Each structure stands twice: as structure tokens, then as C-alpha cells.
Structure 1
């Protein structure tokens, strides 16, 4: 009875603290993710108030949080959307992967962590935070801008790549051989392809089977199906997250909208628990030794993300202002970087990888909200100063040259 009371007190205190931190972040219009990570550091080993009886339950909640993050992500897209994005925007996806995964891999090798840790850290630096970026774009009123579809296309390609990447690192972290890893990847690709095919051809029938006018029954069926498929996927060494992502893709129409509305509060709750759980397993004393590499990696990959967004928007015919806005919006890392690092922490491949990933995400979640707002004006001001400094004075008697017409600041779709 005593342990039950302690569990309720501990877990209640965690949820209450997360709610207050979320309200604080919302008041100042920034992502609560860094605050959740800091809360985990405070409640974890070496923190101010280490937990006792509730840590095991938090671990289970963290697994559910990852599954809900991925199924909600799948609900955002239809199978046809994914196929279209692959055909149209795959060059931007390749540039994104090359520019942003290589710095992470290089840093791991420079630190002497080995090839497996290099593959993991490459994923941490590669994947932008869809949730943080969507929130920032909404807060800045840019959802209707012409560059926004380009940003979303890159995020979709990153999310889709998780269906291939997660099984790869799962096999690597499990220490399976080349043959076993190849079989795991083949199974993952086969399942993903089969689900996409079924979703394209029979998505309406699947959604009709799941559909219900009663919100309670719809929630139970969707949540139960998601957890079931995620568990089967994990049993097959594919990845529970990939299984949940594919369930989300298979649902469409009103069912997807209804499931999104019902699952959103659960996702927010368990995702917050997941970030706390990751912080629980990171000793605050281990962060200062990796802070310098984290800062260097954050600086490099912030610039490579800006370059990625600029190049992709330029390829799509977006104006100069929109190119800088697209680049600045992509800088934030968040939930999926922590998911990837969490797999490595659980496998125990490199003790410093978790602290480095925590510091890296903390830095770029904060910096990402700033680059989204200020990359465009700063870049344009610097460009104007460089042109002014390098331009020669007017030639006497020469006709006056009219200044270039400014590009529309809003640059919205349909204008």
C-alpha cells in the first residue's frame, strides 16, 4: 500500500510538472521539449529528485509515447501523398540526407565511437523535428506561404526514410550479422511496401472497417490496432515505431481525422513522458564533457539545414526570401533525434551518446525557433551590406539605375 501511494505521488508530481512546463513554454511561444528533457535530468540519476517506484511505469509510458508519435505522423499523410513526394522531391531528400547525416557520422568517428555509433549519430543530426517545425510555422503564420510545401516535402521524406533507417539501426544495435541484418531490412521494406500498396488500393475499405460513430469505440480500435501491429513489428525485429507509422498511413479520410483528434491528447501526454524518460537515463554530470562537441555539431548542422532548405526552395522556384525562410525553419531537431538516440542508449553501445544527443537537441530546439524567425532578415541584411561594400560609386554623367523591386514579404500561395 505504501509503495502504491509513493508511486501515485511521484507520477502525479511528474505529470503536474510537465503540465506547468508546457503552459510556461506556450506562454513564451517556444517548444516544451527542452523543458521536458530538463525535467527528466532533474528527476533522473544524479538529478535533484531521483525517482524510486515510478521509473518502470515511466519506461512503459515512454514506449507508448514513441508509438503514438509515429502513428500520429502516419495519420498526417496518405499513401498517395508519400508516393507523390517520393517521385517529385526525392533529390531534395538525398541532398538533405547527405548534408545533415554526414556531419553526425563524422563526429562519432572523430570521437572514436565506432561505425555503429556513427550510423546512430548520423540519424540524430539528419532528422528535423516535424512537431516543432509545424508549431513554429503556425505561430509565425506561414502555413500558407509558398515555401511551406517544400518544407513539408522534406519532412515527409525524412519521416518515410524512418521506415528503412529504424530497422537498419535496430539490427546494428542488436549485433546481428550481415545476413540477419539484410533479412531484417528486407522484411521491413517488404512490409512497408505491402502496407503502402494496400493503403493505396484498399485504404477506403480498411478505414471503413475501423470507422465508428462512437468516439470511444474508434479510439479503442485504433489504439488497440496500433499497439498490436507495433508489437508484432517489434517481435519481427522490424521496429515498433515503423509498425505504428504504417498503421497511420493505412487510415484515411474521416477515420484519420477522427483518430487524430482522439489520439492527440494521449500523444502529447505520453510523448512528454518519453522525453522525461530519456532525461532520466542521462546523468546531468555527463553533459558538460560533451558540450563542446554538441555545440560544434549544432553549429555545423544548423548551417547544413539552412543550405538544404535554401537549395530545395530554389529548385521549386521560390523567391530569395522564401528560400531563406525554408532553410531557417528546418533547423530544429527534436522527438525523432531523441527516439534514435534512445535506441542506442538502451543498447548501451556508447555511454556518451545519450548526453551528447540531449545537449544537441536542447541547443537546436531553442536555436531552431530563432532561425525560423530571423534567418531571412539577417541573411538579406548581410547580403545588402556586402553588395553595398563591394559596389563602386556612381559614374559621373551615367544614367540613374532603378533599384531592384523588392520581393513580396508574404510570398503566399495563390498570390
Structure 2
């Protein structure tokens, strides 16, 4: 029997009520945590975790959620938007620019902590899967906590910060890879090398396809629609793209979080990236708070009491293990002892990705119930210790330099200088890298096009007479420019000519050329075999190769048009904003740092010659960025203006001195500013001290502005300053309400 409208509404309300009340409780606890922890000057993440812990079902004193399922849904949405915002800060181009130092540091730390974590889990007596997930959670540091700590401590201008940021970028992409690999291990319940390799290849395949396709299409779309995009529309489109990629990732067997991260990294390459990041910030803050509070709600205090000793052991191993392994990684990459220790002590915590990895194990039901609260507890403790470790890393490195044997310090410094000197790449390496990149990228593009054609085009034409021929021809036309680039395009021309003169390189070069041609023929044959029988496919292959010879120029032009469009989209943001995070002068302590001239600064309007910054502080200004204009190597006559970004080169000590110099030259704004209310008053001049005084004299004495005079029935708007005030004038005055009361008595 159908329900009445009243019953329908009541029924809907019963289903909505737990979701709304639980969300309200989560946001209320998050809001209280923000206020308390902001006042205590502690990281908000820690506040969210504790607030969630107190609001969870395990503690009866506070209001608790009624439906754990709805909390899990909100938490999953929180993960999606958290990783989307991380992707916006990430970008694959930054990964390419990170360099060896950060990569070696991050990989050394990840491998060390994964092995240590697994061994500790086994030592405690945990199962293999619990130990594996423990190692994975301990290997990833927290970007959110580190950035917040750097901001609070004011160390962003120091040299080691660039290494830390680079290491975090590498860790982010490794964490994504870990999510895929752990999912594979969890599903198969065994450490199968073949399954892991397939997962890695599948991930690489889809990452490259999504990145290439996304960069080719999305920036173009945003540029074309720029004049139509209001802030509201841009926010909606960004979130829509994020969720579309989430659906796509889920459909091909990856986690939704991966899709969100990938779309964020694609949008990070667009010229709208900063604007999108700004618009997404409130959404990220909202759902980030929901996620962290939800994480806290899942902590069982009884579990923490039972596993207090493992929590203490794992916390100590996290702090000392990550600090030591990151320091060793930085030393291996050729960094001096001081920067290596500062880097290591900054990375000694776990955070958001650790929660996501722990959540994955819990969702797949392959880890024990105790692992999740243990990871959260360790994260909470290391969140609290991170600012102190960063703060004391500088004096600790100086102390260690004094205490270590002089021979050790000397050898470390010599190794650092030598490692920085070995930066040259051989000509053969350049050629080999170019050929491998060309083969991998175009192989993936062609494979993706053929798979799409076989899945979506072939089924539509299988029962038609000429459908197969038309579909094969259409697919061949689409992939033709990429086939040409794969098999015949000349790569690293100058380097190949240099190597060709040496007889020993001629064989390898010819082999690589033949491999490329063979791959091109294989893909043409593979495509034709989908639509035709082997015999017909072979005949069609011969015809295709013959036809292929007639259009090399056209294919060349078409490919370069596609490539130029892609590169333009990829580099558009770089042309408007210089990427300068990781520049440094090694083996010296000198490096680049960016500062902004405040609107209230006393330096604004002065020339570099007047300021004498180099003479006083010993630093150089590399460039001044003013809006979209960059003034490179500014001359002494160049002036500084409010809002200018200046890039200075100096040591850590000089950068610190320059920071103090900037702060000293900022105009002091009074903390207690007396509120004023500007009002418009009408006054009549009868017997007054202002009679026969000019308008300018009236203004000087009263600090009020005469905006109108009525005299003998005539009105004068905005009178001249030399006009004399006469008896019986009615004047309109604008001024401060309190001050006006004082001189009204005189009128």
C-alpha cells in the first residue's frame, strides 16, 4: 500500500536525521577543537583527532555519533578532497624537478622505515599483513604538519626546507604507488612478484594516459571558457572534474583517492591552479576536518591501554628511525652534515597518508582492529614533537659537528663537495634516455587508442559489411602521428651525430632504430588483426605501410602540432610564475629565497642604491617579480614597490638577518586602534569663532570636511578652500562623530 505524503516525509526524515545530526556533531567538535588548539598554538590536526576521540562511541561522557556508516561516508569524502588538494600542490613537473638529493633522501627513508616497521611488527608478534601495513604507514611523512610547523617557526627561507619539500613530493607519489601495491597484496593474500609487477605497470600506464590526456584537454578547455568562468563556476567545474576522475579510477580498479590526487596534479599544471587552490581551500578545510575528526572517532581507548607499550615502542622507532634514515639519505645524496640533520629531524613524523593506508587495511579487512588506533596514536604524538625537533635541529647539528671525530666531519664535507661536482650527464645517457622516453610514451598512447577502439568501436561495427574497414581506417588515422613519432622521428639529433663518429656506439644506435620501426609495424598489425582475419590483416598491413610512405611530411606536421599544443599547456603556468623552490648554491651554504615587500613596508618606493642591501647584509637580489613582469638582475636604480616578490641569494644566516631587516622596516600598526565613526552633520553658523574664517582654516582646526554651504537660499557643493564662512551660513560637515561633538558647542 503506497505511503501518504506525510508518511513519506516522516520516513525521509528518519533516514536523513542520523546523517545530519552526525555531521553536525562532527563539525561542532571540529569547531571547538579549532578554537582551543589555535589558542594553545598547537597543530589543528592534533585537535581534530582528540575531538573525534572524545566524541566517539567509546566515551559516554560526551555526545556520540548514532550511525558509524554515515561517519565512514563523510570520512571517505574527506579523503577524496584532502588528496585532491594535495594533488593541487603536487604537480608531476615538480617531481621531475626535484632532483637527486630529495629523491635519494625520500627513497632511503621509505625503504628503511618499511623494512624496520615490518621487522618491529614481526618482533612484537603481529601477523605478516599487520607488519607490512605498519611498515608502509611509518614510511610516509606528513606534508600538512611539516608545512604548518615551518610557517609557525619561520624557517621557510632556509636551505634544508627545499630538500624537505622535494622529499615530500617523492613520498606523495610513492604513497600512491603503495596504495595500489598493498591493495594487490591484500586481495591476493600473498607476495606475488608477477601480480605486483602487473599492478605497477597498470598504474604507470593509467598515470601516463591520464596525465597526457588531462594536460592536452583540460587547460585548453579552461582557457577557452575563461571569460565565462566566475569563481562559483570554476569551483563547481574543478570539483566535477575531481569526482569524474574518482569514478574513472574506481572503474579501472584503483582507489577513489588516487583519482582525486591525479586530477589535482593535472589542474596544478594549469594557469588557473592558484585560483582553484584558493577556491578549494574552504572545501578542503571542511572535509579535512571531517576526515581527521572521523579518524579520532574510530580510536578505542581500551585498545590504546592494551597496546600502550607497542605505541611507545613504535613512536620512538618512528622519531629516531625516520630522523636517522632521512639524515643518512641526505648525506648519501651529497648534502652537508648540518642540512642533512635538519632534513632528517623535519621528516620524523607520520600523518594523513598513514591514516589512509591504515584505513585501506581496515576496509579490505586484512589488518587487525588494533593497528588503526595505534597508527593514529603514534601520529598524534609525532605531530606534537615535530615543531620541537625542527626547532632544535640547528643547535643539535652544531653540537654533533663538535662532538664527532674531526676526521669524520672532514670526510663528510669532502664527500659533499665531490658529490655536488659529479653532476654531468654523458652524451650516451642523454640519447638512451630520449629513446626510452619516446618509446614508452608513444607505446602507451598507441596501446590506449587501440584498446579503446577494440572495446567501444569494434562491437558497433562487427555485423556490418564495411564497418570493420571504416573502424580500422579511423583508428589508424588517429594513431598515425604517434606511429610516425614512435618509429621514424629523429631524436636527440646532435647527440646521435656525436656518438655516430665513435664506432662502438653505431651498433647500439642502429639497434634502437630497428626496435622502434619493429614496434611501429607490430602495432599496425595488432590493430588490423582486431578487425580482420590474419591473412586480410597482413595484406592490409602491406597497403598501410605503402600508404604510410606517401605522407611523412603531413604526419610530421600533425605530430608537431599535437606536441606543441601539449607543451604549451604544460608550460603555460611556468611562463607566468617562476618555479624557484629548489634553487641553491652547493657546496656553499648559499641558496635562493623569496620574500614579499609588505604594503606597509618603509622599503617601498626606495631604490636598491638607497637601501644598500648588499653592502649592509651581503646578499644579492636575483630578480624582482611585479605582477606578471619579472625584472631579472635588477640595477641599482630599480625601486621596490608594495607587493613585489624579491628573490635573494645568501646563506641561512644572511637570510635570517634579511628577514629581521624586513620585519624591522614594516610600519608598526597599533594593536588597539580607537574606533571612529564618520558622520555627516548640518550646522548653522550664528555667533561662532569660525565666522570670517576660510573653509581650509575650519578644516585645519576641526579636522572635518565642509562639503556644502547654504547661503541666502543658494547652495554651494564642495566649496573652494579659500571661501570665507559668514554669519547665518548653514554648512554640511563630514567628520568623526566624537570630535564633532566637541566643536559643535563652539558653533
TM-score, normalising length: structure 1: 0.85
Match of 2:46 among 4, 23, 34: 34
C-alpha offsets along residues 326-379 of structure 1, whole Å, 9 cap, x if unaligned? 222111211111111111122232121112112211111111222111232244
Displacement, 1:313?
4.4
Give the number of the structure whose residues are more often strand, by fraction: 2
201 and 34 in structure 1: CA distance in 2 versus 1, 3 angstrom threshold: same
Displacement, 1:86?
6.1
6 and 80 in structure 1: CA distance in 2 versus 1, 3 angstrom threshold: closer
Deviates more, 1:78-87 or 1:342-351: 78-87
1:300 matched to which residue of 2? 317
Give the Cα–Cα distance (whole angstroms) in 2 for the partners of residues 310 and 229 of structure 1. 37
**1:228 aligns to 2:247 (yes or no):** no
Deviates more, 1:229-238 or 1:45-54: 45-54
1:155 matched to which residue of 2? 168
* Alignment size in residue pairs: 398
Displacement, 1:214?
0.7
Structure 2: state its 5+ residue gaps: 1-9, 407-588, 591-650, 659-747
183 and 409 in structure 1: CA distance in 2 versus 1, 3 angstrom threshold: closer
2:135 matched to which residue of 1? 122
Deviates more, 1:378-387 or 1:342-351: 378-387
Q: CA RMSD in A?
A: 3.0
Match of 1:352 among 349, 370, 373: 370
Structure 1: state its 5+ residue gaps: 389-405
User: SS at 1:253's partner residue?
Assistant: coil
**1:103 aligns to 2:113 (yes or no):** no
Match of 2:177 among 141, 151, 164: 164
**1:262 aligns to 2:290 (yes or no):** no
Deviates more, 1:76-85 or 1:49-58: 49-58
1:23 matched to which residue of 2? 35
Is 2:26–2:294's contact at 8 Å kept on the other side of the alignment?
A: no
1:328 matched to which residue of 2? 345
Give the Cα–Cα distance (whole angstroms) in 2 for the partners of residues 249 and 191 of structure 1. 14
Matches within 5 A, 1:5-404: 8-48=20-60, 49=62, 51-85=64-98, 89-175=102-188, 178=192, 183-198=198-213, 204-205=219-220, 207-208=222-223, 213-251=229-267, 252-314=269-331, 319-348=336-365, 349-381=367-399, 384=402
Is 1:151–1:330's contact at 8 Å kept on the other side of the alignment?
A: yes
User: SS at 1:254's partner residue?
Assistant: coil
- Looking at CA atoms only, which structure, 1 or 2, has the larger radius of gyration? 2
Q: Which has the higher contact order (CA 8 A, sep 6+)?
A: 1
Is 2:102–2:166's contact at 8 Å kept on the other side of the alignment?
A: yes
Give the Cα–Cα distance (whole angstroms) in 2 for the partners of residues 352 and 270 of structure 1. 25
TM-score, normalising length: structure 2: 0.49
